[in-house]
Amino acid sequence: MEIQGVGIGRGIAVGPVIHMAAGLDVPGDDARSEQLSADAEFERIGKALDTVNQDLLERARKAQAGEGAKDAAPILTALAQMAQDPALKTSIRSFLDAGKTAERSVYEAFADFEGKLKEIGGYMGERANDLHDVGQRVIADLLGVPAPGVPESDTPFVLVAPDLSPADTSSLDMTKVLAIVTSEGGPTSHTAILARSRGIVAVVSAEGAEDLRNGQQVIVDAASSLVIADPTDSQVADAERARQAADQAKALRGQPGQLKDGYKIPLLANVGKPADADPALECGAEGVGLFRSEFLFLGNEQAPGVEEQARAYKALLERFPGRKVVIRLLDAGADKPLPFLTQADEPNPALGLRGLRTLKVHKQVLDDQLEALAQADAQTDADLWVMAPMVADEHEADYFVRLGKSKGLKKVGVMAEVPSIALMADKVAKVADFVSIGTNDLTQYTLAADRTLGSVSNYQTPWHPAVLRAIKMIADAGQANDMPVGVCGEAAADPQLAVVLAGIGVTSLSMTPVALDDVRAELTKYTLDEAKKEAARALDGEFYHPRGWE
């Protein structure tokens, strides 16, 4: 039996299935004992909320220190904040005052908030699953039982679940978990992002995965987006050869990214904080193509000052002397709300104030970040490039470039994440020093398919010719105006798509460090002319196979 899903990366694994343990039973709706006062129970709930908050913050600390998925730290910090949300506490108290038990009050308050998030949909809808996980942890603490989580096993296994919480994914024992298969989630869900950052073989949005049996042998083939149940000996042997080929790709570390004929395609790393420089350099990154500055802001009640930011940027830049480092300004809004920047009741945050739009409204935050970057640049020898997120056209690009240059920054560019910038690329190329394409958002906006929704995951692929044609419009404008055009979205981590992007005219690729080996190896199999032929086929839709419309 084969189950089709969405593969994360190129890895392959073989092993027995173990399903994620079922969640807690819904607490009964019996009236609270008269011997238990609302005040006493509310105090007990407060302690449970504090316990969950501290547990998640400790997981975040360990993740940031490298004891888990480093990309998980800001996500776990955000989850910890959910456990201290004043509105949730007020709601819990109202259910207690109505005579409900502590466990039922927590359940109903969290369920109410989950429902509201799902109604909003999009990025906020995805947070409903995260909120549910926090609620389960609080109820488990109240009951004195372990929180639902990854099962224990003495031998390696393939973990199967509807989806995983960020807390679960960040704490996976990599000596035991061979692969992850989820029936829900999309390719840019938290599960997928954290699996990719940790190099875990994964297939998400695999409808039918719930029918796999505990102990059943499976092949999880991320490259083919397949889960093969009860494989033959021949299939297992093929999988083992594919795994060995992946190991051989590591032998090219230290070599520059290039095609078979020597045509250079610099391979850079996406990183989330200065500590991520080590794994990036270990995997042979030639620099940083996307530094997400959000880690400085997430979890704070107010924006950090210029000095604090400058120290962090300097710590990163010092690790890459003479090398390119592209830093993206704060990308707030949508799935990354900040109390001092974003409004909580925005009806459609994915299409609202986010990226540069938010920063323009909060000009002091924008000015401080640019000033901090300029200070760090003056103190280091890295080749600093600075870009703004969510830029729509040449007018926004010109605004940001002029502002960045006024602070003394030398290379100032923009991110291409919405289709409008592709349509206006010829004009953007005349004002920006470079463009970096974020294919995750460009795909979801081009195809009107929320990147967090498994129900439309078949649209969430940069292989769609509409997305590739938008990229080509930007690349063509870059070539005509001698402007570099990079890709820093997850598309760059797909080895076959990396070849296509090189053929389209993209000048650099940036990805999660664990993907560098496979991409570097794949590029060496093609000359520039061959890559251009692959690109022509992809632009014509030859490699795009829509699901559900056969």
Catalytic residues: 190, 488
Order of strands across the sheet that contains 2-4? 2-4, 226-229, 217-221, 12-19, 157-161, 177-182, 201-204, 6-8
- Measured between alpha carbons, how far is 51 from 254 in angstroms, rounded to an integer? 45
Q: E strand or H helix at 537, and its extent?
A: helix 528-539
Contacts of 395 (CB under 8 A, 6+ apart): none
- Measured between alpha carbons, how far is 471 from 393 in angstroms, rounded to an integer? 15
Please state the φ and ψ torsions of residue 369, each to the nearest 5 degrees: -70, -40
DSSP string for residues in 257-299: PB-TT--B--EEEEESSGGGHHHHHHTT-SSEEEEEGGGGTTT
- Measured between alpha carbons, how far is 318 from 412 in angstroms, rounded to an integer? 20
Q: Residue for token digits 């997120």?
A: 389
CB distance 467 to 446 below 8 Å:
yes
- Measured between alpha carbons, how far is 183 from 172 in angstroms, rounded to an integer? 18
Dihedral sign, Cα of residue 232, residue 234, residue 236, residue 238: negative
Token pair of 153, please?
């096993």
The 3-state DSSP class for residue 301 equals: coil
Q: E strand or H helix at 158, and its extent?
A: strand 157-161
- Measured between alpha carbons, how far is 264 from 287 in angstroms, rounded to an integer? 14
- Measured between alpha carbons, how far is 377 from 542 in angstroms, rounded to an integer? 45
- Measured between alpha carbons, how far is 286 from 519 in angstroms, rounded to an integer? 13
Q: For 139, what's the count of Cα atoms within 13 Å in the CB-facing half-sphere?
A: 24
CB distance 414 to 435 below 8 Å:
yes
**How many Cβ atoms are within 10 Å of 231's Cβ, its own excluded?**
19
- Measured between alpha carbons, how far is 191 from 201 in angstroms, rounded to an integer? 11
The 3-state DSSP class for residue 228 equals: strand
CB distance 93 to 41 below 8 Å:
no
CB distance 483 to 435 below 8 Å:
yes
